[in-house]
């Protein structure tokens, strides 16, 4: 498993307590940076995720202002990721964290496993739900709106295959 003292610190597999804590501005900025790095790793968002920031802010607000509060998990993730950056450098730290972390399957029993399950995996889901899926496949993809196409009935739900005259001969 990657990391050192902080990452490998054993914790209860239950949710880390977050009630009564608040995220600082620095915590929020660090978590945003983590969210941006997820999009860069999977190359599934444009503009360094800036088009998703308002949705991300809404997610953070909802997850920290209402029970159960994710504040403890978010603060833990900032310590874990910072330790990885200090150990491996920024580029390698994010690659190892996202793709080669060595976290065993099962309940999260280390600070690293908590960060992966409750923060990184949640941010990945949020990216997909908030439209990160639109950018897969490049400009030739069949995606031109949300599921089943545009909400406007003037546009077809999906593009039709139209055989050209030359192809039919």
Do 114 and 7 touch, CB atoms closer than 8 A?
no
**Rounded CA separation 9/4 (Å):** 8
pTM of the model: 0.77
**Residue-averaged pLDDT of the chain:** 83
Range with lowest mean pLDDT among 19-28, 33-42, 118-127, 128-137: 128-137
Which CA distances in Å does 83 have to 2, 46, 113, 157, 167? 10, 28, 14, 47, 59
pLDDT score of 107 more than 70: yes
Give the residue-averaged pLDDT of 129-147. Answer: 55
pLDDT digits (tens, 9 = 90+) for 150-164: 555 665 555 566 776
N- to C-terminal Cα distance for the chain?
60
C-alpha atoms less than 13 angstroms from C-alpha of 93 in its C-beta half-sphere:
20
Q: What would the pLDDT profile of 52-91 be if each residue is shown by its tens digit?
A: 888 889 989 999 998 889 999 999 999 999 999 999 999 8
């Amino acid at each position: 498993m990657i990391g050192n003292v902080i990452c490998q610190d054993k914790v209860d597999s239950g949710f880390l307590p977050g009630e009564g804590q608040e995220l600082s501005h620095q915590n929020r900025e660090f978590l945003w940076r983590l969210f941006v790095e997820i999009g860069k790793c999977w190359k599934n968002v444009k503009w360094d995720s800036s088009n998703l920031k308002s949705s991300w802010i809404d997610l953070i607000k909802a997850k920290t202002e209402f029970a159960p509060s994710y504040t403890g998990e978010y603060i833990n993730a900032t310590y874990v990721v910072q330790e990885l950056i200090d150990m491996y450098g920024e580029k390698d730290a994010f690659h190892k964290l996202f793709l080669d972390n060595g976290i065993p399957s099962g309940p999260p029993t280390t600070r690293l496993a908590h960060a992966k399950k409750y923060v990184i995996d949640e941010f990945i889901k949020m990216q997909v739900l908030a439209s990160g899926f639109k950018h897969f496949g490049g400009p030739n993809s069949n995606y031109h709106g949300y599921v089943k196409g545009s909400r406007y009935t003037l546009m077809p739900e999906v593009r039709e295959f139209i055989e050209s005259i030359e192809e039919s001969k």
